[in-house]
Chain A
Amino acid sequence: MSDFVLKRVVALLLPFVQMFGLYVIFHGHLSPGGSFSGGIIVGLGMIAFSLVFGLEKGSEKLTERTTTLIESFGTLWYGAMGLVGVLRGSSFLMNKGSGVPLGEPGKLYSGGLILLITLGVGLKVASTMVTLFNALMEEED
């Protein structure tokens, strides 16, 4: 697709789309949304870029190696956050009981490990969307 209007509109919209996705991920413990929905918004921003500007330019911005790394380490990050509870002498994936400071409810830093876990899962979901899209689109040529 090489339409001028489409390219300009997408180039104008994409920063806001990505910003909104990151906002949904980072405020998952405060407002509706969370890791899965925010990650899908971020991933769909990348997919829109690849659709309009072509698959090659899209994979230049976000290489396959990067998505594979995020994909693999997203789940491991979750497990590592679970091990925080074990290291502090509590059970696996324990949040409050392991003595993690919970913060003040309503502030950005609250909910202990929830924010960190949401960040990892959100990035993983985004890279999952992009990887699925790339794998399905590469088959056509």
Chain B
Amino acid sequence: MSRNIAAFLLVCIGVVMFLAIAELPLYGSPDTPVQNYVAERYIDGALSDTGALNMVASIVIDYRAYDTLIETTVLFTSIIAVFLVLKKGIN
């Protein structure tokens, strides 16, 4: 009995998921909500704002420099964790 209820609930969730997927815009279509003024600003102004030809580098290290700063801190923290767990001779 409980198995049937679980299967019914799973089917319901699946139907809702498929309805949500059907509402999604097509991948790469120009009228998605992602293609707003932010992307336009990056495409138009990346070269004059940062002087770097690689737009990925200009976004990662200039526009979103805080994100990359904390990302390197995450690397540092992971190394500390590895040292704490695996390294011999640290008490």
Interface residues of A (CB under 8 A from B): 28-35, 71-72, 74-75, 78-79, 82, 93, 95-96, 102-106, 110-114, 117-118, 121, 124-125, 128, 131-132, 135-136, 138-139
Cβ contact within 8 Å between A30 and B76 = no
Cβ contact within 8 Å between A131 and B79 = yes
Cβ contact within 8 Å between B53 and A121 = no
Contacts of B79 in A (CB 8 A): 71, 128, 131-132
Identify B52's interface contact among A33, A110, A136, CB under 8 A.
Answer: A110
Contacts of B66 in A (CB 8 A): 93
Identify A112's interface contact among B51, B68, B78, CB under 8 A.
Answer: B51
Q: Of residues A112, A117, A124, which shows the largest number of chain B Cβ atoms within 10 Å of its Cβ?
A: A117
Contacts of A114 in B (CB 8 A): 50, 52, 57-58, 61-62
The complex places the Cα of A110 from the Cα of B52 at a distance, in Å, of 6
CB distance from A13 to the nearest CB of B (A): 27
Cβ contact within 8 Å between A102 and B51 = yes
The complex places the Cα of A114 from the Cα of B47 at a distance, in Å, of 13
Query: Once A and B bind, how many residue pairs between them come within 8 Å at the CB atom?
Result: 107
Q: Is B87 an interface residue (CB 8 A)?
A: yes
Say which size band chain B's interface belongs to: 20 to 34
State whether A138 and B88 are in contact (beta carbons under 8 Å apart), knowing that A34-B57, A111-B52, A128-B75 are contacts in the complex: yes
State whether A103 and B83 are in contact (beta carbons under 8 Å apart), knowing that A82-B69, A124-B72, A128-B75 are contacts in the complex: no
Contacts of B58 in A (CB 8 A): 29, 111, 114
Contacts of A139 in B (CB 8 A): 86, 88
Q: Which residue of A lies closest to B74 (CB)?
A: A75
Cβ contact within 8 Å between B61 and A118 = yes
State whether A96 and B47 are in contact (beta carbons under 8 Å apart), knowing that A32-B56, A131-B79, A136-B86 are contacts in the complex: no
Contacts of A125 in B (CB 8 A): 75
The complex places the Cα of A28 from the Cα of B60 at a distance, in Å, of 11
The complex places the Cα of A75 from the Cα of B38 at a distance, in Å, of 28
